[in-house]
Amino acid sequence: MSLFGIETEEILPYDLSATYTPWVLGDLDSERIFQQLFNETPWLSQKITVFGKTYDEPRRVSWHGDPNAHYSYSGISMQLNPWTPLLQELREICEERSNHSFNSVLVNLYRNGQDKNGWHSDNEPELGTEPVIASLSIGASRRFKFRHRETKVVVERTLENGSLVVMSGLSQKNWEHEVPRQANVTEPRINLTFRSVRTK
Ligand SMILES: O=C(O)CCC(=O)C(=O)O
Ligand SMILES: [Mn+2]
């Protein structure tokens, strides 16, 4: 599919439903967006519990959404922050590209290549079955991997500044994904995963 002359690539082995579009920000200035997000986001450094062990999460995070969009993962109930005008603007871009509406976003800050996001699926009950998640990347390029739960087949892409991944279908049920540590990356990256959580 070609939108505004930019190719959207399907990432589709087995039942993985995901697309990658290299630049979705039109004529917006990604450096300005990065700086504004970096400065105005109330970044949290969280402790997460995985398989009974507690760790410092190796990145900074912030959860934003509609007033009833509550979310928990890895034993943490996220503090809910309001939409900012910039997050609303980015949400609209992602909604248009994915043809889906979102009521919340998890914003991740990877300070450099030492920060990472280990193997996981976005399969919390409040996301429902077969969720659509739009993942916008700003800043340093980072590797992104999908791994099939049974066959262990790995699919890898580099997520560039201004790019969008849209995950849907069985991509959370049958696959995990990660952003591995990359010792050679010295620059920061902000990632925004727009989601639709069931409201209580
Ligand atoms: O940083 C990324 O590209 C992915 C983030 C992610 O998987 C998540 O927030 O659940
Ligand atoms: Mn994820």
Ligand 1 proximity of 106 Cβ (cutoff 6 Å): yes
Per-residue pLDDT reduced to its tens digit, 161-191: 999 999 999 999 999 999 999 999 999 999 9
**Tens-place pLDDT, residues 1-58:** 434 445 788 876 778 899 999 999 999 999 999 999 999 999 999 887 778 888 888 9
Say if ligand 1 is within 6 A of residue 192 CB. Answer: no
pTM of the predicted structure, to 2 decimals: 0.93
Residue nearest (by alpha carbon) to ligand 1 atom 10 = 122
**Residue 44 alpha carbon to ligand 2 centre in Å:** 17
Can you list the pairs that 115-120 forms with residues at least 24 positions away whose Cβ atoms lie under 8 Å?
Answer: 115/58, 115/59, 115/60, 115/181, 116/58, 116/59, 116/178, 116/179, 116/180, 116/181, 117/58, 117/59, 117/178, 117/179, 118/50, 118/58, 118/178, 119/147, 119/176, 119/177, 119/178, 120/176, 120/177, 120/178
Show the domains of the chain with their CATH numbers: 2-195 (2.60.120.590)
Tell me, in angstroms, the distance from the centre of ligand 1 to residue 85's CA.
Answer: 22
Nearest CA to ligand 1 atom 1: 191
